[in-house]
Amino acid sequence: MTQTQNTQTTNIRRNVPVDEQLEILRRGVVDLVSEDDLRRKLERGAPLRVKLGADPTRPDLHLGHAVILRKMRQFQDLGHKVIMLIGDFTAMIGDPSGKSKTRPPLTLEQTRENAKSYLEQCRLILRQEPEVLEIRYNGEWLEPMGYADVIRLASRYTVARIMERDDFRKRFEGGVPIAMHELLYPLTQGYDSVALEADVELGGTDQLFNNLVGRALQRDYGQEPQVVITLPLLVGLDGTEKMSKSLDNYIGLTDEPHAMFAGLMKVPDPLLDNYFTLLTDLPRERIEALLAGHPVAAHRELAREVVASLHPGADLDAAQERFRSVARGGIPENIPTVSVPAAELDNSVDTQRISMAKLVVLAGLEPSNGAARKLIQNRGLRVGGETYSDPQGSVPRSDLTREGGVVLQKGKDKFVRVVLGD
Amino acid sequence: MTQTQNTQTTNIRRNVPVDEQLEILRRGVVDLVSEDDLRRKLERGAPLRVKLGADPTRPDLHLGHAVILRKMRQFQDLGHKVIMLIGDFTAMIGDPSGKSKTRPPLTLEQTRENAKSYLEQCRLILRQEPEVLEIRYNGEWLEPMGYADVIRLASRYTVARIMERDDFRKRFEGGVPIAMHELLYPLTQGYDSVALEADVELGGTDQLFNNLVGRALQRDYGQEPQVVITLPLLVGLDGTEKMSKSLDNYIGLTDEPHAMFAGLMKVPDPLLDNYFTLLTDLPRERIEALLAGHPVAAHRELAREVVASLHPGADLDAAQERFRSVARGGIPENIPTVSVPAAELDNSVDTQRISMAKLVVLAGLEPSNGAARKLIQNRGLRVGGETYSDPQGSVPRSDLTREGGVVLQKGKDKFVRVVLGD
């Protein structure tokens, strides 16, 4: 994982006219509750406090997260203060009923570790100047809360309003159990906004309800209600599901330039507009022009823009060239080389051959012979640019000793050169 | 308020055969969840822990409360330990939303005061030996609970099960707001049973749901679930509504013998069976015989039984005689005498007369002239055994100076003799 730090070459622009700020901040947004409130807050001229709740249970970020982080960055660039709220306390509690897989309870150590990794990845997008970045942990106010405080908090909200949340209502009506504590989490999340005196809260569209609870609670606690802004959930490379690691349709935030470039070249055409809008700063007219042109050119521009913003200083031409060469079935330059110990062949029955499955394992492309054979069966392995289809096949010793050895390719962009060592 | 202490003349009976215990404990009960569980617990021979939640927001007890306290006493008489649980912590929180009139938040002082008065009144029925009486306060385990503990507790129960409670369901379906914290109270009450390791919980039929939550939570915490016993809500003297102070259809637990006697003589005939079953130990055959006989004789026996049990050593014959005499329009012996200062007449326009309304106020029967006139208008005042019907009427000085003065009677059994003082 390479973590190139964002160079923050641009300056913070202060006192940008409100209309211009709104223009920037509205881009790509789904919900904005409400624009009038946001305008009023901006008109005051003081930096806004912009909250983003970070879930320290899932440490690996991808471009889906970048959509919201980029919006946070836009606030920073306009001089507003971004508050990264780490839900350390709630993560440690998790789902005590053990029924929810999305909320496994974590130890304090895991939480801290994950939070650290999360914030590290955010550096790729967020400015780090203290006047525009504040990092907080909700244990700060949740840990000292007692039973009476929870009762008082709960008294501020009605069951009917909580049950308006789509998934709660559907589960309730469908007879799917909702544990009582699940109802308390939106309140807790809302209370975080009270504790932080947030002016704005950002989130995915799936967070609209929870963040509106914060808005309501703030009003109830005598604060000015926060503006709630939601951004779309980025659809992944499969073109249908939201980007997520578990669906393997993602591009990691810390992927290396060439991998990120290759990933972006595979974005389904219908999603191009979305990706341009949410992941680049290209003006609308430019996006329209690109969409009207050849898709490959559009993809290339998307890839260059996104890679450049996450990897400032990366060699875009090299990444592009590598992609082109791989796409044509070529082998990119500078691929890793693995030496297979000569003993592997010397001690085997046929000292002149090695099974392809074993070679794949020794090359580090699969963890076991079984997995390697499966890869071959599924036509996921190429050798010298050709699909290799015999799971029981083997490679002669001479291939490994020749100049350049054997180049194995797993999937579209994973290459390893295998040679015979001592 | 006279608080005659229960003399506890009977001995605790230990090792009573289980069938006999069940026979006693089943009397008058509405719900018993479950009899099998209760039998199993009794068969072990060890004293059971029998919980009753006491609400320290309403300090004045009446015969409706006696129904449950008598059942607790039956457990004590069989050697079981009664646990009076004072909800001091929950009373102090009350209803923070301020919407519920039944849960006004109390100060620590009020809570302690009310609890003291409550327990004082319970002495009229409950045995005080420490081996059969334990007094606990739920602040003991609720006060140290933190946010995480509340989440863990809440995770043990589902929204659907909580919403099964009749009033919750009706309010939810009817669009009547339920504040979130209201859902937490049944869980808290249930957790009290876990903390106390209760074997049995008693309550009115309106507490069935809450007490079953305790049963479920205990199971979830790895304890043997408590047996839930409910007793009927006693119908008051109006014959329709449950006995309650606010409906003025009640007989106070600490009413003096003659007042309690008179109250019981007014129990509507259809409720006699109920009152006998729930408030006396008379065997079934005896009750049947009384119900088959003359209602006045039945009432008299009821009154004597109940007064004797709450006021051991009271002169039952005197109470009965007083009631008889009042019923015939007579004036009981030993009624309080109030001296009206002579100046009240000397300084008025007509020094030879005093208005009846003023006399009623001076006698302490009403707080103001207006209230006194209203009492007269409503035909609630008798003078010398006759209804007095003129709100503007007056009494001559001579009546007050004559032997015996003027006897005012408010309602059926409140008498004051008024004479002229110096």
Q: Tell me the residue length of chain B.
A: 422
Say what the pLDDT of residue B136 is. Answer: 94
Q: Class assignment of domain A4-231?
A: alpha beta
CATH code at A337-420? 3.10.290.10
Per the CB < 8 Å rule, is B147 touching A146? yes
Local structure of B62: helix, strand or coil: strand
What is the tens place of the pLDDT at every residue in B121-173? 999 999 999 999 999 998 899 989 988 888 888 888 888 788 888 888 888 88
Q: Model confidence at A173, in pLDDT bands (50, 70, 90)?
A: confident
Q: Is any Cβ of chain A less than 8 angstroms from the Cβ of B152?
A: yes
Per the CB < 8 Å rule, is B180 touching A158? yes
Which residues of chain B have a CB within 8 Å of the CB of A153?
A: 181
Q: Model confidence at A414, in pLDDT bands (50, 70, 90)?
A: confident
Among residues A92, A273, A319, the alpha carbon closest in space to that of B146 is found at A92
From the list B147, B159, B172, the residue facing A183 with the nearest CB is B159
From the list B97, B153, B168, the residue facing A155 with the nearest CB is B97
Which residues of chain A have a CB within 8 Å of the CB of B143?
A: 146-147
What is the tens place of the pLDDT at every residue in A87-145? 888 787 766 655 555 566 677 788 888 888 899 999 999 999 999 999 999 889 998 99
Instruction: Please tell me the least confidently modeled range out of A230-239, A397-406, B44-53.
Output: A397-406
Residue with the bigger pLDDT between A402 and B23: it is B23
Paired strand residues for A134: A83
Q: What's the rounded Cα separation, in Å, for the pair A272 and B90?
A: 57
To test the contact with chain A by mutation, choose from B93, B161, B180, B192 the residue with the greatest count of A C-beta atoms within 10 A, namely: B180
Q: What's the rounded Cα separation, in Å, for the pair A409 and A365?
A: 9
How many CB pairs below 8 Å do chains A and B form together? 125
Write the DSSP symbol of residue B307.
H
Q: Which residue in chain A has the smallest CA separation from B185?
A: A151
pLDDT higher than threshold 80 for residue B97 = no
Which residues of chain A have a CB within 8 Å of the CB of B103?
A: none
Say what the pLDDT of residue A320 is. Answer: 84
3-state helix vs strand vs coil in chain A, percent to 5: 45, 15, 40
Per the CB < 8 Å rule, is B177 touching A154? no
Per the CB < 8 Å rule, is B159 touching A93? no
Instruction: Please tell me the least confidently modeled range out of A59-68, A87-96, B355-364.
Output: A87-96
Per the CB < 8 Å rule, is A180 touching B160? no
Query: Where in chain A are all domains bearing CATH 3.40.50.620?
Result: 4-231
Task: Report the pLDDT averaged over residues B181-188.
Answer: 85
Angle at A23 between CA A21 and CA A26, to 5 degrees: 105
b/e for B360-381, b at 16 or more Cβ within 10 A?
A: bbbbebbeeeeebbebbeeebb
Q: What's the rounded Cα separation, in Å, for the pair A409 and A413?
A: 7
Which residues of chain B have a CB within 8 Å of the CB of A175?
A: 160
A 167-206 → B contacts, CB under 8 A: 168, 172, 175, 177-184, 187-188
What is the tens place of the pLDDT at every residue in A345-398? 877 778 888 889 999 998 888 988 998 999 998 888 888 778 898 988 888 888
Max mean pLDDT range (A149-153, A405-409, B240-244, B279-283): B279-283
Per the CB < 8 Å rule, is A180 touching B162? yes
- Within 13 A of A131's CA, how many CA atoms are on the CB side? 9
Query: Where in chain B are all domains bearing CATH 1.10.240.10?
Result: 257-327
Measure Cα distances from A53 to A119, B89, B114, B190 in Å: 12, 33, 45, 34
Among residues A420, A417, A400, the alpha carbon closest in space to that of A332 is found at A417
Instruction: Please tell me the least confidently modeled range out of A23-32, A223-232, A401-410, B45-54.
Output: A401-410
Task: Report the pLDDT averaged over residues B84-112.
Answer: 73
Q: Class assignment of domain B257-327?
A: mainly alpha
Q: Is any Cβ of chain B less than 8 angstroms from the Cβ of A149?
A: yes
Kindly report the nearest CA distance between residue B280 and chain A, in angstroms. Answer: 41
Which residues of chain B have a CB within 8 Å of the CB of A158?
A: 177-180
Angle at B148 between CA B146 and CA B149, to 5 degrees: 65
Q: Is any Cβ of chain B less than 8 angstroms from the Cβ of A162?
A: yes
Q: Is any Cβ of chain B less than 8 angstroms from the Cβ of A150?
A: yes
Q: Are B265 and B299 a contacting pair, CB within 8 Å? A: yes
pLDDT higher than threshold 90 for residue B192 = yes
Kindly report the nearest CA distance between residue A131 and chain B, in angstroms. Answer: 32
Query: Where in chain B are all domains bearing CATH 3.10.290.10?
Result: 337-420
Max mean pLDDT range (A29-38, A320-329, B181-190): A29-38
Q: Model confidence at A4, in pLDDT bands (50, 70, 90)?
A: very low
Which residues of chain A have a CB within 8 Å of the CB of B149?
A: 147
Per the CB < 8 Å rule, is A145 touching B146? yes
Q: Is any Cβ of chain B less than 8 angstroms from the Cβ of A216?
A: no
To test the contact with chain B by mutation, choose from A153, A163, A180, A188 the residue with the greatest count of B C-beta atoms within 10 A, namely: A180
Q: What's the rounded Cα separation, in Å, for the pair A324 and A335?
A: 15
Kindly report the nearest CA distance between residue A176 and chain B, in angstroms. Answer: 9
Q: Which residue has the tokens 């849960």?
A: B103
Task: Report the pLDDT averaged over residues A192-198.
Answer: 95
Q: Model confidence at B335, in pLDDT bands (50, 70, 90)?
A: confident
Per the CB < 8 Å rule, is B178 touching A155? no
Write the DSSP symbol of residue A201.
E
Kindly report the nearest CA distance between residue B312 and chain A, in angstroms. Answer: 43
Which residues of chain B have a CB within 8 Å of the CB of A191?
A: none
B105: tokens are: 């938040």
What is the tens place of the pLDDT at every residue in B193-204? 999 999 999 999
Q: Are A189 and A214 a contacting pair, CB within 8 Å? A: yes
Paired strand residues for A82: A50, A133
Per the CB < 8 Å rule, is A156 touching B183? no
Which residues of chain B have a CB within 8 Å of the CB of A146?
A: 143, 145-147
Among residues B335, B331, B323, B334, the alpha carbon closest in space to that of B265 is found at B323
Write the DSSP symbol of residue B46.
S
Which residues of chain B have a CB within 8 Å of the CB of A187?
A: 180
B114: tokens are: 């009310």
Say what the pLDDT of residue B2 is. Answer: 39
Per the CB < 8 Å rule, is A146 touching B148? no
**What's the ipTM?**
0.71
Per the CB < 8 Å rule, is B154 touching A187? no
b/e for A215-253, b at 16 or more Cβ within 10 A?
A: bbbbeebebebbbbbbbbbbbbbeeeebbeeeeebbbbb
Q: Is any Cβ of chain A less than 8 angstroms from the Cβ of B93?
A: yes
Paired strand residues for A419: A339
Q: Which residue in chain B has the smallest CA separation from A153?
A: B181
- pTM for the structure as a whole: 0.73
Kindly report the nearest CA distance between residue A198 and chain B, in angstroms. Answer: 22
